[in-house]
Chains A and B, each alone.
Chain A
Amino acid sequence: MGRIPRKYLINRLITLALTVLIAASMIWVIPRLSPVDPAEIALGRMASGAGAVANAEEILAQLRAQMGIDQPLIVQYFKYLKGALVFDFGLSTATFPTPVSALIAQALPWTLGLMILSLVITFVIGNLLGALMVWDHSPKLAKVAIPAAMVFTSIPPILSGLLLMWIFAAKLRWFPLTGAYGLTVDPGWNWAFVQSVLHHGFLPAMAIVIVTFGFWALGMRGLMITVQGEDYVKLAEAKGLKPRYILYRYMIRNAILPQITAFALKIGLLIAGQVLVERIFAYNGMGKLLYDAILDQDFPVIQGVSYVIILITALSVFIVDLIYPFIDPRIRHEGG
């Protein structure tokens, strides 16, 4: 415990850099295995707009130069890495010539907001319910209702989204149908805007929460069963501590530890899972951006979005690595 040793920090940073480098290389290689030529797609798009294109070969060459795909692969690769370092992924082919970074900058805050909101809610609710399934003093109802609620876990997020939308937006009209904020509010740091954002974000966040809380609840249930059998919990009971205190300080406090690591790892998966939810709620986040890019075979955008997702995941793991010794005293910041 105490301060983070320098050697440990450097080690973690190297791991972080390597993870990102390998992942970035993979997302560069994979689209290049595809037989599709992005320049031809762009040309095709032009052609469908303007009928026939006269000097096709010339335009193709020009497009290729603009996209930088006329150069040797190795040059392309290093240019890409250099760009990735400063979040420069070139220009979108679908919305040519918008820079990919501009599209991402616009989408990222929405996704991060939605993601953090839903992840925190689902993590808290899921773990609490999982713990209550095991705890001896839970209300009887909880032991019946929670497992029943698990069925939501097996429905795809798109259905949960549509279901919520239908009940709470279309029928009850408690929440807006789509969008990230109301058209009448002024984007910026004002209360009306924040309120509108929360109001719009609630249903998409819930759509994610109801399909993901079961994952945490089931994991927590298993961990709690193990912890419940531990000698230190039995002794806590013999000590006559209050049941609630035992639940939080002796049981959940120990059972939650592996869940925190899983939390960091889940972040990347969650963005991917958010794609469809964002799509049906017309929520302008990374998910929707990625979805559209895949439909349009917009490789630079796909690359940029994937890169950012990987970076966020790797950063979360890095942060958890750094704080873990503070939450589990048995783990120390050692050099290795």
Chain B
Amino acid sequence: MSEPVLSVRGLKVYYATPDGDVLATDDISFDLERGETLGLVGESGSGKTTATSGILRMVSSPGRIAGGRVTLDGEDMIALSDEEFRKRRWSKLALIPQGAMNSLNPTMKISAQIADVVRTHTGAAPDRARVLELFQMVGLPERIYEMYPHELSGGMKQRVCIAMAVALNPTVIIADEATSALDVVVQRVVAQTLAKVRDALGVSMIMIGHDMGLMAQMVDRIAVMYAGKIVEIAPVADMFARPGHPYSKILIESVPSLTERRPMKITEGITHDPRNPPEGCIFQLRCPHVNDGCTKPQPMRELRPGQTVACHRAEELEGAHV
């Protein structure tokens, strides 16, 4: 396999609080291959957005990057000066933010907000035709060119964010729950738009979300996060067919099915205090298969080619129900 376009090693992002650091993203590692879409799933508060902000170097006080390496296109991102990193932003690493509703400047026209990022990074403002081309790519009507954000619907704003993200043809796009604020129908349509644009441009993408069903259709591989740790990474087919980690199993079995009624497997959220995670496996307090071995450190290990998991009982539990 060729060199990954984005490589994250041991990334730690902590939030300082009076009672100690919240280990929001704790020692995560993964690779994003060229042209690939990697899904990042995990329940609310598992640290997905925090991981993103670490990669984008957007961690602001009380948070800090406590360690790790991020390499984009062979370049060490953490070592760059602020100004050098600023130049890499958007032209190489673009973001479709969580909460696109409020992500547009209310006192600037839509077209101006696309134009300013292009002007900053290329030195020349895009002409009207280029902006309209971007609009067309994401299915936005021409008439919004002169409009302000408050004149747009939520779905339209989301599309504006997608158009903005692809404006500079970046190497990597991170889409942070790009669709979860929308109603189900619009969600699907926007997700399709996103997939279409991605395929047209061949951009590599990290897609963050909760919706395993949507993920299954959109991504090549899935990384599962729990309480600041990645517990499993696998190609999407393997993940659904043979999940290795008990938490992945729970997530997958919680996807509602039309043909079968199943009780919800996830009842509570993350139970431990994120400032003081348990020794060993991060999931041991909620895991139905916990045993003595779980208090030992659980490094990510290869279960089968392409599938890595942080559970010492993975083989043993294969096929077992949660």
Q: Which residues of A contact B197 (CB under 8 A)?
A: none
The answer to whether B89 touches A239, judged by C-beta atoms less than 8 angstroms apart, is yes
Q: Which of B89, B105, B120 contacts A250 (CB 8 A)?
A: B105
The answer to whether B120 touches A231, judged by C-beta atoms less than 8 angstroms apart, is no
Q: Which of A51-59, A184-192, A240-248 contacts B (4 or more CB under 8 A)?
A: A240-248
Q: Which residues of A contact B103 (CB under 8 A)?
A: 231-232, 234-235
The answer to whether B91 touches A232, judged by C-beta atoms less than 8 angstroms apart, is no
Q: How far is the CA of A165 from the CA of B120 in the complex (A)?
A: 48
Complex: chain A residue closest to B102, CB-CB: A231
Chain B CB within 10 Å — which of A241, A242, A328 has the most? A241
Q: How far is the CA of A182 from the CA of B202 in the complex (A)?
A: 75
Q: Which residues of B contact A239 (CB under 8 A)?
A: 89-90, 116-117, 120, 164
Chain A CB within 10 Å — which of B87, B108, B121, B148 has the most? B108
CB of A28, distance to nearest CB on chain B (Å): 43
Q: Which residues of B contact A240 (CB under 8 A)?
A: 86-91, 117, 120-121
Q: Which residues of A contact B58 (CB under 8 A)?
A: 234, 237-238
B56 at the interface (CB under 8 A from A): yes
The answer to whether A238 touches B105, judged by C-beta atoms less than 8 angstroms apart, is no
B99 at the interface (CB under 8 A from A): yes
Q: How far is the CA of A237 from the CA of B86 in the complex (A)?
A: 8
Q: Which residues of B contact A237 (CB under 8 A)?
A: 58, 89
Q: Which of A101-134 contact B (CB under 8 A)?
A: none
The answer to whether B97 touches A245, judged by C-beta atoms less than 8 angstroms apart, is no
B107 at the interface (CB under 8 A from A): yes
Q: Mark B88-124, 1 if CB is under 8 A from A, else 0.
A: 1111001101010111111110000000110011000
Q: How far is the CA of A329 from the CA of B113 in the complex (A)?
A: 15
Q: Which of A136, A241, A330 contacts B116 (CB 8 A)?
A: A241
Q: How far is the CA of A235 from the CA of B114 in the complex (A)?
A: 12
CB of B57, distance to nearest CB on chain A (Å): 9
- Size bin of chain B's contact surface: 20 to 34
Q: How far is the CA of A253 from the CA of B107 in the complex (A)?
A: 8
Q: Which of B90, B99, B102, B148 contacts A238 (CB 8 A)?
A: B90
The answer to whether B90 touches A231, judged by C-beta atoms less than 8 angstroms apart, is no
CB of A218, distance to nearest CB on chain B (Å): 21
A230 at the interface (CB under 8 A from B): yes
Q: How far is the CA of A240 from the CA of B101 in the complex (A)?
A: 20
Complex: chain B residue closest to A233, CB-CB: B105
Complex: chain B residue closest to A241, CB-CB: B120
CB of B18, distance to nearest CB on chain A (Å): 20
A254 at the interface (CB under 8 A from B): yes
A32 at the interface (CB under 8 A from B): no
The answer to whether A329 touches B107, judged by C-beta atoms less than 8 angstroms apart, is yes
On whether A330 and B106 interact (CB within 8 A), knowing A238-B95, A240-B117, A245-B120, the answer reads yes
CB of A27, distance to nearest CB on chain B (Å): 39
Q: How far is the CA of A327 from the CA of B108 in the complex (A)?
A: 10
On whether A231 and B107 interact (CB within 8 A), knowing A239-B90, A240-B90, the answer reads no
Q: Which residues of A contact B120 (CB under 8 A)?
A: 239-242, 245
Complex: chain B residue closest to A331, CB-CB: B150
Complex: chain B residue closest to A235, CB-CB: B103
Complex: chain B residue closest to A239, CB-CB: B117
Q: How far is the CA of A189 from the CA of B121 in the complex (A)?
A: 50
A45 at the interface (CB under 8 A from B): no
Q: Which residues of A contact B102 (CB under 8 A)?
A: 230-232
The answer to whether A254 touches B89, judged by C-beta atoms less than 8 angstroms apart, is no
The answer to whether B117 touches A241, judged by C-beta atoms less than 8 angstroms apart, is yes
Q: Which residues of B contact A241 (CB under 8 A)?
A: 116-117, 120
CB of A291, distance to nearest CB on chain B (Å): 42
On whether A242 and B148 interact (CB within 8 A), knowing A235-B103, A329-B107, A330-B106, the answer reads no
Chain A CB within 10 Å — which of B60, B91, B102, B107 has the most? B107
Complex: chain B residue closest to A240, CB-CB: B89
Q: How far is the CA of A238 from the CA of B88 in the complex (A)?
A: 10
On whether A238 and B97 interact (CB within 8 A), knowing A232-B105, A254-B106, A329-B148, the answer reads yes
Q: Mark A209-244, 1 if CB is under 8 A from B, else 0.
A: 000000000000000000000111011111111100
CB of A326, distance to nearest CB on chain B (Å): 11
A249 at the interface (CB under 8 A from B): yes
Q: Which of A71-89 contact B (CB under 8 A)?
A: none
The answer to whether B107 touches A328, judged by C-beta atoms less than 8 angstroms apart, is yes
Q: Which residues of B contact A238 (CB under 8 A)?
A: 56, 58, 89-90, 94-95, 97
CB of B146, distance to nearest CB on chain A (Å): 10
The answer to whether B105 touches A236, judged by C-beta atoms less than 8 angstroms apart, is yes
Q: How far is the CA of A78 from the CA of B61 in the complex (A)?
A: 64
Q: How far is the CA of A257 from the CA of B101 in the complex (A)?
A: 20
The answer to whether A231 touches B95, judged by C-beta atoms less than 8 angstroms apart, is no
Q: Which residues of A contact B91 (CB under 8 A)?
A: 240
Q: Which residues of A contact B150 (CB under 8 A)?
A: 329-330
On whether A235 and B97 interact (CB within 8 A), knowing A249-B116, A329-B148, the answer reads yes
Q: Which of B173-187 contact A (CB under 8 A)?
A: none
Q: How far is the CA of A191 from the CA of B102 in the complex (A)?
A: 52
On whether A232 and B104 interact (CB within 8 A), knowing A238-B56, A242-B86, the answer reads yes
Q: Which residues of B contact A250 (CB under 8 A)?
A: 105
| With A240-B88, A240-B120, A241-B120 already in contact, 9 other A-B pairs whose C-beta atoms are closer than 8 Å | A231-B102, A232-B102, A232-B105, A235-B95, A245-B116, A328-B106, A328-B107, A329-B106, A330-B150
6 contacts between A and B (CB under 8 A): A231-B99, A232-B105, A234-B97, A238-B89, A240-B120, A253-B105
Q: Which 9 A-B pairs have the closest CB atoms?
A: A240-B89, A231-B102, A329-B148, A239-B117, A231-B103, A235-B103, A238-B95, A232-B105, A240-B90
- A interface vs B, CB < 8 Å? 136, 230-232, 234-242, 245, 249-250, 253-254, 257, 327-330
- B interface vs A, CB < 8 Å? 56, 58, 60, 86-91, 94-95, 97, 99, 101-108, 116-117, 120-121, 148, 150, 161, 164
